Structure 1
Amino acid sequence: MRKADQLALDGPIRRVLVANRGEIAVRIIRTLRRLGIESVLAVSAADRDSMGARLADRAVCIGPARATDSYLRIGTLIEAARGVGAQAIHPGYGFLSERAEFAAACEENGLVFIGPTAEQIERVGNKLEARRCAEQAEVPIAPGGQVDDLPAALEMAEQIGYPVLIKAVGGGGGRGLKRANTPTELSELFDLASSEALAAFGDGRVYVECFVTQGRHVEVQILGDGKNVIHLGDRDCSVQRRYQKLIEEAPAPNLSNEMRRDLHAAAVRFSKHINYRSLGTIEFLVDVARQRFYFLEMNARIQVEHPVTEQITGLDLVAEQIIVAQGHALRMKQSDVRLTGHAIECRINAEDPTQDFRPAPGRLSTAHFPARTDLRVDTHMEAGAMIPPYYDSMIAKVIATGSDREQARQLLESGLADVHIKGVLTNIALHRAVLATPEFIEGGFDTGFLGRFLASSGAAIFGQQATHPVSEGSRS
């Protein structure tokens, strides 16, 4: 048995309630099975027959299909964990993974929360507090600050200069986020942003921040045990649509050695400042024109895009989470981390490109993914499986790993050509088109790249789907 596996087993955790669904639930269950730790999957009524429910040692139904009646019910999940004799809960990503009250409830009920402490989640979840932490850790932040009303927002924007972003204090993921290019736009969007923030996070407070017109989204994966922190390299997530990531890669291409070192050091400083425990990701905005970077936020959980980091480090990040959750110190030093090769990940979603990428739930009549050693597929879907309308529409993550970026890109292109999905519309055609663009091949583009690409080429890519919406080609 490998040293990491032995450490993951050495502690109080013998049975884990997986409080999530979809591909991340399957991902966690597979690591638990390899380690010899029992898994119990919490499922809604819509997920009783899911792949995760079959792979887990046991599944327990926690309520009706809607997330508010199942996956978001803290009391129900705590009761389920205690009822099945679990010692720990793994929250995955999304749902309750970054809810401080969930981590606190676990602790109060004698359950190990496989993640950071409730206090840490609370601190970094409040974007203004996270900015203060960054300042204290001497990590650069973009000019801006909290504003209580529209006049204050207009004054702040005048000080830092347009364009600006209106951002929610209590959350992220693009919700409550608005760009204003002029005072008129700021006046029109301020109340809307506040209302969206209140609806999404229960907190209508917003802040105004300088908008970097040419910015790259670069993030650093960190791992801490409450005392020590190391980084596991960086990722580029600049292929985004409406602030939602679509393609991610590691390491970030076309960064100077100095910039990369500074990003890593800043991420470690921030994490050490709050004595961070577990996996986390520090997100930065890299100003392409000025070659500077700014702290964006910290995600206090495992990320959707964690596989690209696993591919270049050779680590199982879920196992590393469990080692720390068992109460152990980090099993490695920074000098032990080796970054090898390049990995690129595409998120395959069930969505209709001809209808502004609206989610397209339905039943998969065909779900074929190529079995190749140079291609990793993380999925919870198979032929006959249903994509319900209640949750996100991700079908799979396809990850290619090569000795360098160009090899990884070519492998991913060829791999996507061998993915066959029928029964629902997908974004595979978009992925293949993006991977073939000169801009992507060169690397180092800003977050506006995908929007520009869709504006110039979207109609040509998806014209066949618009003309033949039920043809086999439109389903692949």
Structure 2
Amino acid sequence: MSQASDFYLNNPLTHRARRLSGAASEWVRSFSCEDLKPLIVCRGPIRKEAMDVYQEMGITHYGILLSEKDSIVYPTALAPELRQLTDSNRVHRVPDYTGASKEERVERIHQIIEIAQDNGYDSIFAGYGFMAEDEEFVAEIEKAGLTFIGPCANTQARAGKKDEAKRTALTVNVSVTPGVNNVTALTLLKKHPTREKLLALVKAEGLVCDAKVLKDAKVSLEALADHVLTASYAKGIDLFTIEELCAQVQNEVAELFRNYPRNRFRLKAIGGGGGKGQRIVGAALLAAKNADEKVIAKAAAEAPAMVREILNEVKANGVGDNKNILIELNIEQTRHNEIQLLGNGEWCIALGGRDCSLQMHEQKLLEVSVTQESLAEAIAKAKAAGRKEEVAALESDLKVLQRMEEESARFGQAVGLDSASTFECIVDRDRHYFMEVNTRIQVEHRVTELCYSLKFVNPKNKNDFFVVESLVEAMALLARHKKRLPKPERIVRFNAAVEARLNATDASLSPHAGGMIRYWSKPIEGEIRDDQGISMLNPDTAVFMKYKVAGAYDSNIALLLTKGEDRFASYEHLSEVLRSTTLRGSALATNLEFHYGLVNWFLGRNVMAKPTTRFVVPYLTLVGTLKEEANRLDPVYAFLQMKKHYDKLVCEQYADQPEVCARERKHMSALLDRKGTLITRPMERLLGDPHLLSGWLSMNTINFRIEKGRVIWLRNPLGVLNETYEYMHMSYRPHKPAAEIIWNHDNELLQQSLHFYRTLREKLGLARDEYFQLNELLKKEQPQGGFDAEEWDQIRSAHFGYEAGLELLGMLFLVGGNTRFWDMHVQDDLEIVIPDYLTDPDLQARMKKILVPPPATKADEIVAACGGMYYGQEAPGLPMFVYEGMHFEKDQPLYIIEVMKMFNTIKATFSGTIDKIIMDGGDGTIVQKGQPLFKITPDEKFVEVDPKVLEREKRERTAEYLKAVI
């Protein structure tokens, strides 16, 4: 077995499930699941996890679905799990997991059930994707006599549909977000506004409705309309057009804008998930000084296009589909918290929370555990440190968490939850609102697993019990033993856990499909890596197998998790994991550097900070300003100019001693030359990667200050330089290529310098952090610390030599100062201050281009902004966005790119005329980033900047920085 395989099977943090059949207790043995025969119909990390867990549970008869997109359309994206599951009889091929249309989806459901029945499977596990929350799929499974490993069809109907869940929440006294949850009923009532007309519609269309509901005059018109709509879905007909629905949504949005001035609203498909089927409308209202009727009408007019995009994304645009869309107040300063639930239909238990606020494009990026135990410990530490405002903020979070856990368990019981689900809320300071329930296991479920295990105790003997640490195992237990399973007790495993989603995105977090992974470093100790087995070595050759990151599905490559005694420890360990991770490939882009910078931003500020869902875009914008400023600097030129500065100092010192001057100039030049690459290599790398620079600046906030435009060091810059090499994973390691580490001669000089200062501090009786006091002593000509005059002169001379040139590092601090980097900060009450300028849409768009410059293009063409599936119209049957000879304006939609299951409308960044459409192929064609789409004539000519002018400006800017550090 390969070394990577050993890691996956033997790591105690990944080895979670156990065989119960061998237990000493008869009661424990009775909960064995070895006779379960599941078919796994999901992909990605959860499929690999399910395979491992089932194997550990002793379940031998399991199989997987394999989409042809995994093996034919993208041949090198072949499921890595097949290196482990080599029995071809347990691998079942389908064209796609869900199909591209409603008809294909229905066909796939029946195909999956047929595969299960023909191959002896008795159950189906859908993980957290594709059909995991599909009520129709689950109902068909149950009808076929199979078991769905997840919430049953009844629970899916009551909790999985966002509109129905919201109604249930209201009936059991769970706080919900203001908005409209029955826009389809209102659309129907627009056409048939009375009870009589609705009843006539039922008769005309031959709809099968409940006679009691139709006759009951107490049933409200809106409830009656909902009932009629449900009957229409069963018959597979539409009672209104998508255009009529869009018009109603536009009207409702406009009215909500009037009732909630200067607020945006979120449009959500009732069957969406994972960020799909959601759009936010009303951006213009935030920017407008006065939200008058004209502004409201313009903002509301954006809604119809968004509705069509949403329905396309969740494949609910077919005849007879439930097209209901929720319209919810978008609480701007909100955190996204969720509670893990588990139930068996009779009992329901909450397993703590997760903060998922760090997200973008509705896609979560970093997820952090939130438990009552960890908050209580953090409160105690803050009290001991005298941080009163932090104590109050954490106590508020604890109260909110307790309320959310209590409400979630109550909701779970109300819908008869019989498996794992997630109760999602938005939190606004000391208030929370129920958002939705995901009737499936979540991508971030492992965060909860690391914090809590489940202890199932024999009701007749408290000493007879078994412990479950895997939610996938718990779901199998519930599916197999249902209400026999007693309500478990939750037991703390670790106080904190955090998960980073390693995604195929570029530096601006835009999707980047199509890259090839050719190498992935081994996991470090304590790292939990759920990566679908991509980093497993070939079991026959023990070499890494290349893997194509296809754009057919979501952008996730891996889930990287760590745990710790508190949040700080888990963040520190995650930082170490990210620092140690090396990914290499061709056309490959990931958010690895983003995560590393972000994690260190919090480590340098306060890991208990309360980011909102609005944090990431302003943060990215701030990182973009770092990149823009860094692009204007040349550290090598700065080093050469600094050499001239020292040469001048020597000349001034020995102006009356020409021979001594010549000798000292030569000596100083040689000394600085030895340090050239030691100083400039890390500077060039930090200036070249703004995400790394962001984390570095945060971690070094305490090591300097800027006074009157000049950098003042508060710590020995040699120590900072040494930690900088460690931060960038460039510390000396003999087995690593020279390009990736500090060079040997630079390392010798650095270690020699550090040894000098360690020894000197010991001799002078100074602590490690007493740099200021050491500096003051070394300024004195009178010998200190018992040294004689000759020794003291040598020490002072060595000190000057070791620190000469390190002033250049201060340029990095000035980049932070000149970009107002520290204006975004964490307050004592843990709220994060986001400067207003970082929320400016124009600046955000410009900084996105700074982080990832648009693909190279000619002045007379428009090229694909990213790789993916091209669509030239908003929806089938609608007009094309552009045609030859058409004049387009700035911000006008030009085309749609579907990538990672998300529809991205690409708008013009300037105005011009379409001369020719050169895109080869129609809708659904796969295009590559930078591929020419249209020949155009821009309204304004683009003027290229002379490279010589840019170089001159760069040197002038660098010279300005030098003045502040030397």
Q: Same fold (TM over 0.5)?
A: yes
Q: Is the CA contact (8 Å cut-off) linking 2:269 and 2:278 kept in structure 1? A: no
**2:564 paired residue number:** 402
More strand by share: 1
**TM alignment of 1:212-227, pairs within 5 A:** 212-227=331-346
1:19 deviation in Å?
A: 0.2
Q: Is the CA contact (8 Å cut-off) linking 2:423 and 2:436 kept in structure 1? A: yes
**2:423 paired residue number:** 282
Which of 308, 313, 316 pairs up with 1:200?
313
1:427 deviation in Å?
A: 0.5
The reply on whether 1:180 has 2:282 as its aligned counterpart is yes
**2:510 paired residue number:** 357
**Structure 1 residue identity aligned to 2:621:** A
Q: Is the CA contact (8 Å cut-off) linking 2:19 and 2:57 kept in structure 1? A: no
The DSSP-based 3-state class of the residue aligned with 2:332 is coil
Residues 436, 394 of structure 1: alpha-carbon distance in 2 compared, 3 angstrom cutoff: same
Residues 337, 137 of structure 1: alpha-carbon distance in 2 compared, 3 angstrom cutoff: farther
Describe the superposition over 1:226-281 as per-residue Cα deviations: whole angstroms up to 9, x where unpaired. 11000111100010001110000112664532222111001111111111110000
1:112 deviation in Å?
A: 0.6
**Structure 2 residue identity aligned to 1:166:** R
In the superposition, the TM-score normalised over structure 2's length comes to 0.46
Residues 71, 318 of structure 1: alpha-carbon distance in 2 compared, 3 angstrom cutoff: farther
**1:414 paired residue number:** 576
Counterpart-to-counterpart distance in 2, 1:189 and 1:76:
39
**TM alignment of 1:104-183, pairs within 5 A:** 104-146=139-181, 147=183, 148=187, 149=248, 150-172=250-272, 173-181=275-283, 182=285, 183=296
Q: Is the CA contact (8 Å cut-off) linking 2:276 and 2:310 kept in structure 1? A: no
**Structure 1 residue identity aligned to 2:368:** E
Counterpart-to-counterpart distance in 2, 1:239 and 1:402:
20
**Structure 2 residue identity aligned to 1:157:** F
Counterpart-to-counterpart distance in 2, 1:432 and 1:303:
23
Question: Unpaired runs of 5+ in structure 1?
Answer: 467-471
1:11 deviation in Å?
A: 5.6
Counterpart-to-counterpart distance in 2, 1:335 and 1:321:
16
Describe the superposition over 1:389-428 as per-residue Cα deviations: whole angstroms up to 9, x where unpaired. 3112311111010010000000000111111111121110
1:456 deviation in Å?
A: 0.9
**1:96 paired residue number:** 131
More helix by share: 2
Q: Is the CA contact (8 Å cut-off) linking 2:347 and 2:487 kept in structure 1? A: no
Which of 82, 86, 95 pairs up with 1:64?
95
In the superposition, the TM-score normalised over structure 1's length comes to 0.90
**Structure 2 residue identity aligned to 1:158:** R
Structure 1, 28-37 or 359-368: larger mean CA deviation = 359-368
**2:433 paired residue number:** 294
The DSSP-based 3-state class of the residue aligned with 1:97 is coil
Q: Is the CA contact (8 Å cut-off) linking 1:375 and 1:398 kept in structure 2? A: yes
Residues 78, 264 of structure 1: alpha-carbon distance in 2 compared, 3 angstrom cutoff: same
Counterpart-to-counterpart distance in 2, 1:52 and 1:9:
28
The DSSP-based 3-state class of the residue aligned with 2:307 is helix
Counterpart-to-counterpart distance in 2, 1:342 and 1:221:
15
**TM alignment of 1:299-318, pairs within 5 A:** 299-314=438-453, 315-318=469-472
The DSSP-based 3-state class of the residue aligned with 1:223 is strand
**1:41 paired residue number:** 64
Residue-pair matches, total: 465
Q: Is the CA contact (8 Å cut-off) linking 1:163 and 1:179 kept in structure 2? A: no
The reply on whether 1:324 has 2:478 as its aligned counterpart is yes
The reply on whether 1:430 has 2:594 as its aligned counterpart is yes
**1:267 paired residue number:** 408
Residues 8, 144 of structure 1: alpha-carbon distance in 2 compared, 3 angstrom cutoff: farther
CA RMSD of aligned residues (A): 2.7
Structure exhibiting the larger radius of gyration computed from Cα positions = 2
Structure 1, 437-446 or 120-129: larger mean CA deviation = 437-446
Counterpart-to-counterpart distance in 2, 1:54 and 1:440:
42
**Structure 2 residue identity aligned to 1:231:** A
**Structure 1 residue identity aligned to 2:411:** F
Q: Is the CA contact (8 Å cut-off) linking 1:26 and 1:55 kept in structure 2? A: no
Q: Is the CA contact (8 Å cut-off) linking 1:65 and 1:390 kept in structure 2? A: no
Residues 17, 187 of structure 1: alpha-carbon distance in 2 compared, 3 angstrom cutoff: same
**Structure 2 residue identity aligned to 1:409:** Y
1:154 deviation in Å?
A: 1.8
The reply on whether 1:377 has 2:541 as its aligned counterpart is no
Which of 616, 620, 628 pairs up with 1:450?
616
The one of the two structures with greater contact order (alpha-carbon pairs below 8 A, sep at least 6) is 1
The reply on whether 1:189 has 2:302 as its aligned counterpart is yes
Residues 170, 243 of structure 1: alpha-carbon distance in 2 compared, 3 angstrom cutoff: same
Which of 21, 38, 43 pairs up with 2:43?
21
Residues 29, 461 of structure 1: alpha-carbon distance in 2 compared, 3 angstrom cutoff: farther
